[in-house]
Every structure is written in structure tokens, then in C-alpha cells.
Amino acid sequence: MKILTLNFLTCAVKACKSSAASYPLHPQEVELAKDEMEYNPQAMLNFLLRLDWAALRMTATELGFATLPEEMPTAEDLQQDELKMRQLHELLLETHVVSGKLVCGNCGHEYGIKEGIANFLLPSHLV
């Protein structure tokens, strides 16, 4: 699962929807892998508009990458600085979580990840 997707996932439990702590999910005991993907600056700019930068920084720190700046780079910034854009591309689209678990900060439910597929099936008492 890409880090980009991780930036959009929230807890699936209904009671957690209203809680701020349910987002982002916290990755634990993860194994990462890199998978080459074609670099597409236009797509990156589209995703950038919707990224939650604070959440991305938190995820990156928890995964052990601590090179993200505090402020979110603007679109113009990135268009001029290709290196920065390529770094972001590498982090968001090429870095994959292969196994581990995602933990909700509110209810503590653990979503397992196996072979890159997160299990978001809920037991019937949580639906």
C-alpha cells in the first residue's frame, strides 16, 4: 500500500468518524518496500492539493523518514524544484507498506496489512 493511500485512510468504525484522533492511522511494525513507478508531475500536483501535510509528516516520522519540511511546499515551489518533486514522488507513490498493521488512535482497532493489502473488514459488533 502506497504512503499516498495511507494519507487518506481513516478508521472504518462508525463511532470513530466524529473523532479527530481516528485520522491518520498509525502504522506499526511495518515492513516497507520500494516499487518503481513512472514519474508524472501533473498527477503529483493534483494529489498535492488534497494531501494533509500534518498527517503526512506524522506518518513519515513514525515510519522513520524525518526529512519533510514543516510547511507544505506550494505548487509553484515544486514546479521549479524538480528534485523536491521527485523526492515526494518517491515517498508517496514508490514507497509501499508490505506488511504490518494500522492502529486507530481513537478506538485502538488494529487493521492488519499482509502482502500490501490492508484488511478493513470489521467484526459485526463494530459495524
- Does 15 help bind other proteins (rule: CB under 8 A)? no
C-alpha cell at 89: 514522488
> 108-116 contacts: CB < 8 A, separation 24 or more?
109/11, 109/13, 109/16, 110/28, 111/12, 111/25, 113/1, 113/30, 116/1
Per rule CB under 8 A, count of chain residues that contact other proteins: 31
State in Å, rounded, how far the first CA of the chain is from the last one: 24
**Where in 22-81 is the site for other proteins (CB under 8 A)?**
23, 37-38, 40, 42-43, 46-47, 50, 52
Q: Which is nearer to other proteins, 50 or 66 (CB)?
A: 50
Distance CA 105, CA 65 (A): 20
Q: Which is nearer to other proteins, 34 or 50 (CB)?
A: 50
The half-sphere exposure of 122 on its side-chain side, counting CA atoms within 13 A, is: 12
| Part in contact with other proteins (CB under 8 A); list of ranges 3-11, 26-34, 63-71, 74-82 | 3-11
CB of 97 to other proteins, least distance (A): 9
Distance CA 13, CA 111 (A): 11
Among the listed residues 4, 56, 78, 88, the single contact to other proteins using CB under 8 A: 4
Binding site for other proteins (CB under 8 A): 1-2, 4-5, 8-12, 14, 23, 37-38, 40, 42-43, 46-47, 50, 52, 93, 115-122, 124, 127
